[in-house]
Amino acid sequence: MRNSDIRSRLWRVSAIQLIVAGIVSTVAPLPAAASTPFSSTYRASEGDYRACLSGLTGAGISTNEAAAACAGALYPADLSTCVTRIDGNTAILATDALNTCRQTRRPIDLASCVVNISGQAPEEPIALNVADFCRRSLLPLRFSNCVVGLQGDTLTLTEAMQDCIAAGRRPRDVLPTFVPIDQGIPATPTRIIVPEDEPLSPVR
């Protein structure tokens, strides 16, 4: 047998093996990805609902109200964690904490925000105000860092929260503007109106 024939057969066998391997890899199921909160494959388990109901009732929420809250939560275990953290570390009652935790997509971050800010002025009766500010923030952890960093002798806690919640808005007056001082931008652009009945001059 000639060498060329041997090479040709080897190439055919290798090609068939590659085709078979490609078909098998396409048909074979892929390993399941880890299912965690905030992932598209996450589904609350029976244990999540049990933990939610146990945590809420342990904090003093009635069974019927706790069951309704857990059933409607996207992340039931996180909901109960949010309530128990706020209830155990601030002056906010569990029922008020539940109302706040149900209105956010990030209940764990919300709880951390409320606890962190409330710890700066535990003597001030503004716990519910703190919870409302944390709920309104899209990034509760960033918001709490901003408030804790700014609050001090010159700014009260309420003033710091107002400044930090406003920082999430889109800035309009940004410096530098890159516009020369002696040149302004007209409020309205100049329009050139060409009469419809006026013939256009021929192009020469």
DSSP secondary structure string for all residues of 65-87: HHHHHHHH-SSHHHHHHHHHHHH
Scored b (16 or more CB within 10 A) or e, 65-98 reads: ebbebbeebebbbbbbbbbbbbbebbbbebebbb
Residue span of the structural domain in which 127 resides: 46-166
How would you write the pLDDT of the chain (204 residues) with one tens digit per residue?
A: 555 565 566 556 565 666 655 564 554 444 444 445 554 556 888 999 999 999 999 999 999 999 999 999 989 999 999 999 999 999 899 999 999 999 998 999 999 999 999 887 665 567 888 999 999 999 999 999 999 998 877 788 889 999 999 875 444 554 454 555 555 555 555 555 555 555 555 555
Counting the structural domains of the chain, the total is 1
Backbone angles phi, psi at 76, to 5 degrees: -60, -40
Does residue 187 belong to any structural domain of this protein? no
From the list 34, 153, 94, 29, the residue with the least C-alpha distance to 114 is 94
Does residue 193 belong to any structural domain of this protein? no
- Cβ 136 vs Cβ 165: under 8 Å: yes
Does residue 202 belong to any structural domain of this protein? no
Q: Tell me how far apart the alpha carbons of residues 85 and 131 are, in angstroms, rounded to a whole number.
A: 12
Does residue 195 belong to any structural domain of this protein? no
Q: Residue 63, class by beta-carbon neighbours within 10 Å (0-12 exposed, 13-18 middle, 19+ buried)?
A: exposed
What's the pLDDT score for residue 52? 95
First CA to last CA across the chain, in angstroms?
A: 83
What's the pLDDT score for residue 157? 87
What's the pLDDT score for residue 71? 94
Does residue 158 belong to any structural domain of this protein? yes
Does residue 120 belong to any structural domain of this protein? yes
Does residue 11 belong to any structural domain of this protein? no
Does residue 54 belong to any structural domain of this protein? yes
What's the pLDDT score for residue 77? 94
